[in-house]
A and B are shown apart, each in its own frame.
Chain A
Amino acid sequence: MKNRGIWLKIFLLFMLIFNFAIGSEININVEVDKSEAEGQLVNMLITGIDNTTNFKVFKKLGDELQWIELKSIDKLSSKIYIKNDILTSLKVTTYDDNEKVIAEAISEPFITKAQWFNTSRLARFIFLLVTSILILFYIEKAKKKKEIYLRPIAGLKAFEEAVGRATEMGKSVLFIPGIMDLDQVETISGIIILGHVSKMTARYETDLNVPVARSIVMEAGREIVRESYMSEGRPDQFNSDMVHYLTDDQFAYAAGVNGIMLREKPAAVFMQGKFYAESLILAETGNSIGAIQIAGTGSQAQLPFFITACDYTLIGEEFFAASAYLSQDPKLLGSIKGQDMVKAAIMIIIVVGVIFESFGAEFFKKLFEIG
């Protein structure tokens, strides 16, 4: 009995030393990541081992005794998602080729919490706040009838000319609001411009054709065209089929619109919205039928095609400013002025930042880092 007790003690001592030896081979550092508003995230770093091997990560919640396997990783750093507000420990084990545990390490217990403020996004918050304040300030100023000058944009001046040309020729106006849904800013802007164009077609009693690629855009388009015809006192001329659905498919839509162009031969084609690879197909067909074409998009990759094949192109910001120009609404004009002030601030920041960078002061650039 006595011998058994000694052997048991020796065995336990051996296990303790062995365990210590295992634990001393690798270390695990766990840092709670406070950059995510939801919490739940820790950055785990394994140290004390040079070569990258396979690790298994386990977690233990609160007073539980059992380790639960979380995942296998093959690198020294990893992001681990765990539940908030529960005391948690992590354990990492490494294995040899025979799946035998070589080493293991256990982290200090930690708790993750949801954050009220994500400090890594402070720069973005301040920028958004300053932008909003500037825009609201100039909107208020514009409302108080302070005149706001906006430089002329050739493409926007041509809107009335294009509709007038279609009226004189007795042909229709084709308006293409892009191929994307209403969750794209370009599509929203395109639909607002459609409202202005449809006012002109209502005024001049010119046919309007708006093929769309998305059902929600069709509904929004119909709504805004109906509104325009009502406001111009021509509800009798409105027909809901003016805005009609073709298909969601990009190139099938392009084929359909091309067919409309070739058959109806509209005198004016407006392409205002979000476009992708179909842009050149549409613009070239419009060019081939001799229509006056006015394009507008924020899609940088499609602008070259529109510039090549269209008579006028609203480039990026010009396209977004179009509704303010066309409506002369003080609220919209004020917002354009406010955005100009933001652009001026950006230019100043860039110039100041370049000077700082040139003299090796990197703190300024770090303010604009996106984590």
Chain B
Amino acid sequence: MSFGNIFGAWVSVFLTLAILSYLYKDNPFYKVAEHIYVGVSAAYWGTIAFWNQVWPNLFGRLWPYVDDQSTLSKFNQFWYKIYNGLHWFSHNVFPENGIPGDQQQNLWYIIAFFLGLFMLARLIPSINWLGRWSLAYVVGMAAGLRIYGFMSSNVIAQIHGSLLPLWGESLGTVINNLVLIVGTVTGLFYFFFSVEHKGIFGKISRVGIHFLMISFGASFGFAVMGRISLLIGRFNKLIEYSHKQYGYATLILLVAMVATLLILNLKKTEEVTE
């Protein structure tokens, strides 16, 4: 077993136990694990966003790699002169002759480039209003794009799926179809806001909410089963790391952490008593 593996196991055990220690209460171990997790993941996602999104999809489309800049059109020669300036600025981010990869040049992405710059303009108070344009674009684009998807999958496909015959080959099919139709119509009625849910409307709505709650219950049970299997997976790792080849990592760290928490708790109690 290499030192790297053993060290990795200790770090893994420490972080797992530190995160789980929050079940006791907020404590220094949890704070350490939380800050490491938040800090590392923020840096990780920032790096991923730049190198996997901005670099290939934006810069890669604006300045794809070319073998020889002199063979380009006059406009593109000028365009790549801007890139050469960026290349002078950073050789790693902007390698010579363009961004390597299989992207084709698409100058429409200049709009995305400027919208990105507008977001950065928020750092300068006098022009921070430019950032609103980027936000407006994102919100408008999202609403426009989603409405079609929702209309297809959440409305029309649902209607299509609900159009079932009331009688079928077996009693099971009939009951199944009936439950689906009644559940869909009454569930939909529950979300009817402009009618007071009283009298017959109240009764239909109540049937609908019962259907919703039953489906939530089933969903809850299903998800809890999935979480339990995740927990078992984590415990299996802790058990594995408690063996001799890992230097009894789980046992030692567990005892050390429990002892530290006890001492801290005793100290705090003494301070409160004084």
Residues of A within 8 A of B (CB): 123-124, 127-128, 131, 148-151, 153, 181-185, 188, 215-216, 219-220, 223, 245-249, 251-253, 255-256, 258-259, 262-263, 277, 280, 300-301, 303-305, 307-308, 315-318, 321, 336-337, 340, 343-344, 346-347, 349-351, 353-354, 356-358, 360, 364-365, 368-370
Contact = CB atoms under 8 A, between A and B. Distances in A.
A213 to B, nearest CB: 9
B175 to A, nearest CB: 15
Given A255-B34, A308-B220, 8 more contacts: A149-B196, A182-B138, A216-B119, A277-B223, A307-B216, A317-B191, A340-B195, A368-B159
Contacts of A245: 42
Contacts, number: 186
B197 interface: yes
Contact of B38 (A153, A216, A247, A353): A247
Contact of A354 (B26, B155, B165): B165
B37 A127 contact: no
Interface of B: 19, 22, 25-26, 30-31, 33-34, 37-42, 44-46, 49, 119, 122, 131-132, 134-135, 138-139, 141-143, 145-148, 150-152, 155-157, 159-160, 162-167, 181, 184-185, 188-189, 191-197, 212-213, 216-217, 219-220, 223, 227
B223 A305 contact: yes
Contact of B148 (A124, A247, A358): A124
* In the A-B complex, the 6 residue pairs with the closest CB atoms: A249-B41, A248-B45, A304-B220, A353-B163, A252-B41, A262-B26
A331 B155 CA distance: 23
A183 B38 contact: no
B44 A249 contact: yes
B240 to A, nearest CB: 22
A354 B138 CA distance: 40
A188 B132 CA distance: 14
A215 B42 CA distance: 11
A126 to B, nearest CB: 10
B122 A185 contact: no
A223 B216 CA distance: 35
14 contacts: A123-B156, A127-B156, A219-B119, A246-B42, A247-B39, A249-B37, A258-B34, A259-B34, A343-B188, A357-B163, A365-B163, A368-B159, A368-B160, A370-B152
A185 B195 contact: no
